[in-house]
Amino acid sequence: MPSVTSSISNFVASIFGIFASLFSSVLAVFQGIFALGWDVIHTALTATQHVIAMVADLFQGVLGFVAANFVAIAVLGGAYYLYTLRTQRSRGTTKTN
């Protein structure tokens, strides 16, 4: 037959076990959140690396040279168009015949 002191000892040990399990669960949740954040960052960096490699592969060789020049001319032309459009608006002038 168990004594009162052994029952109290078992009760206190059970209470400490509950708190230890709760602490372990909280740490596991934080570890899961940290692992999720790490995986998201790793995936984003890997995707960026693959996109950069794809663009570098695309613009290699003679065809890449032509395509790069076409893109550069298109970007410069678009920038010039936007610049002239903005300066005309800021001056308040319009073309008249």
Query: How big is the CA angle at 39 (ends 33 and 43), to the nearest 5 degrees?
Result: 150
pTM, rounded to two decimals: 0.49
Q: Which two tokens stand for residue 64?
A: 């890449």
Q: Specify the pLDDT at position 1.
A: 59
Distances (CA, A) of 81 to 28, 67, 74, 84: 56, 21, 10, 5
Residue bearing tokens 């695309």: 58
| 45-64 pLDDT per residue, tens | 999 999 999 877 877 877 77
Is the model more confident about 3 or about 61? 3
State the alpha helices, DSSP H only, in 1-97: 4-58, 61-91
The answer to whether 94 touches 88, Cβ cutoff 8 Å, is: yes
